[in-house]
Amino acid sequence: MSQPGPIPTEYTAIMTGEPFLHFELKIVAQMRLKGLSSSEIRELVKADNSFQHKTTKSIARVLKAVLRRLDVLDDRLVELCAHGNLSSSRIVTLFAIAKTNLLFFEFLEEVFREKCALGNTPLTAKDVRIFFTQKSQQSPLVANWSEGTIRKLRQVYLKTMIDSGLVIPDEPVSAPIIDEELYEHLKAIGEYRFLAALTEGM
């Protein structure tokens, strides 16, 4: 399995249909550790309804997302996602999202990290709304997204932060304590930008 590659260079609204998906990524990571290929994982997930989704359309959409995220994880990160403690596996899931979505990565850098630096202040829906307003002013691509798309993305971004454990509604945001093994591994593979986004540049 290859080392995590570069972040995409263009913004995308794909997260309207792709939330945190920690449970699903964890299942697929466990399958990958057993040696299953992407095509074998697709067949098994659909046959067993491993994600416990109600429709085949939903399963197919989620499978596409989690396999894309899985592909940016190296062997150690796959293992930590599959069998690591809850905190570490959620950080790996967040990493996989950030590495496949430039706009969300910039959200971590420009909103979450700033909140951590300020201290004693929560991350709210208003903060997410301001972020997207600024991006609409900076990017013609984002400016052309519909109001409904922007609204959905705002909801998904905030819920992703809550599901990751980095944000607790109405409570001050602080940099997470990352398990030493995960922290050192991310440093070893050169993921300083991601670590800086979560830990105020530490």
Predicted confidence at residue 9, as pLDDT, reads 85
Shared domain check, 111 and 83: no
pTM of the model: 0.93
- Residue 9 included in any domain: no
Q: How many CA atoms lie within 13 A of 127 on its CB side?
A: 20
**pLDDT tens profile 86-130:** 999 999 999 999 999 999 999 999 999 999 998 889 999 999 999
**Domain co-membership, 120 together with 194:** yes
Structure tokens at 188: 């070893």
Place 58 in a pLDDT band, splitting at 50, 70 and 90: confident
Question: What tokens does 42 get?
Answer: 């697709």
Distance between CA atoms of residues 114 and 99, nearest Å? 20
Answer yes or no: do 47 and 18 share one domain: yes
Which of 83, 99, 115 is the endpoint of a domain? 99
**Would you say residue 50 has pLDDT above 70?**
yes
Q: Is residue 181 part of a domain?
A: yes
Nearest to 89 by CA among 153, 165, 145: 165
Summarised one tens digit per residue, pLDDT across range 168-199 is 999 999 999 999 999 999 999 999 999 999 98
Range of the domain at 34: 14-99
- At which of 99, 133, 167 does a domain end? 99
> Are both 127 and 161 inside the same structural domain?
yes
11 neighbors 135 (Cβ within 8 angstroms): yes
Mean pLDDT of the chain: 93
Mark residue 172 as left, alpha or beta (left: phi above 0; alpha: psi -120 to 50; beta: remaining): beta
* 135 and 95 in a common domain: no
Higher pLDDT, 200 or 2: 200
pLDDT at 59 over 90: no
pLDDT > 70? residue 201: no
- By three-state DSSP, how is residue 144 classified? coil
Q: Does one domain contain both 134 and 117? A: yes
Q: In this predicted structure, what is the pLDDT of residue 3?
A: 58
Residue 97 makes CB contacts below 8 A (sequence gap 6+) with: 15, 20, 69, 104, 160
Q: Is residue 3 part of a domain?
A: no
Q: 89 lies in a domain?
A: yes
Q: What whole-number distance in Å separates Cα of residue 47 and Cα of residue 122? A: 42
Residues 6+ apart with CB under 8 A from 129: 154
Report if residue 2 sits inside a domain. no
| More confident: 9 or 195 | 195
What number is the average pLDDT over the span 17-34? 95
Q: Tell me: do 75 and 22 sit in the same domain.
A: yes
The domain total for the chain is 2
Residues 6+ apart with CB under 8 A from 130: none
Domain final position from 68, 99, 130: 99
* pLDDT tens-digit readout, 61-90: 899 999 999 999 999 999 999 999 999 999
Give the mean pLDDT of 15-27.
Answer: 95
AA identity, residue 140: P
